[in-house]
Structure formats: structure tokens, C-alpha cells
Amino acid sequence: MLQNLSGAVVGIITDAIRKMIGQQSKSKRHVEITLAFKELLSSEKQINRNISHYAESLHISPVYLNEVIKSITGVSVSRYIQNELILQAKQMLAYTSLTIREISNNLGIEDYAYFTRLFTKAVGVSPTCYRKKYLE
């Protein structure tokens, strides 16, 4: 009976160790995918808002890409892409004299009214107000 109990304990410990090792390698893979995604996103001249574009480039499914990015960053791929767009818009508003329409077009958003709504929702002020506040 003691032998059976010790065998069960060894089995439980072995199973726990296997799970921990599996999680570590999975986490490492998630970090690698996240870094590759971030590099891909920053290397493009114009951000593509289509998640499938990045998933195909990384040779994974869009669902898996979203799962990985969310597990590492805490936000979905679409939110991450949107945050990157807003960051670039802020930089253009602060450091260039481009019009809102030109900035919108440079970011790949042809409807500048949509861009204005997106920016205002994300930042809390319109692009014009943001530019004025930054230049003060």
C-alpha cells in the first residue's frame, strides 16, 4: 500500500512538472510571436488594420495571433493596431504641419471624419485640439 501511495505521489509531481515545462515553452513561444508581430507592425510604412495580414505574415491563424497578443499584452490585436495608429497620429500632429486629412490618408484611413471620431474616442480630444494643446 505504501508503494502504491508513493507511486501516486511521484505521478502527481511528474504531471505537475510536465505542465509547468509546457507552460514555460508555450509562454516563450507567445513572447516570440508577440515580438515578431510588434516588429512587423513597426516595420511597415502604413499600418494595415487587417489582422489576417499579420497572421499570414507570421504563418499562424488570426484567432491564434489574437489569443497570443492578448495573453502577453492584455489587449486584442485590433486594439493594439488601433493604439499604434493613434500613436503615429499623435506624432504626426505634433511634429508635422500636415492637415488632419493628410494624416488620415498617411495612416491608410481614407475617411478622415472616421479618423477624427476614432482619434477623439481614443484620446479624449479631437486631432485639432490635440495639436493646439501640444503646440502651447
pLDDT at 18 over 70: no
69-85: pLDDT as tens digits: 998 888 999 999 999 99
Superfamily of chain region 81-135:
Homeodomain-like (1.10.10.60)
The Cα–Cα gap between 50 and 101 comes to 21
pTM exceeds cut of 0.85? no
The Cα–Cα gap between 29 and 40 comes to 16
| Average pLDDT value for residue range 88-101 | 92
Provide the pLDDT for residue 27.
Answer: 78
Provide the pLDDT for residue 119.
Answer: 95
Domain chopping of the chain, boundaries:
2-74, 81-135
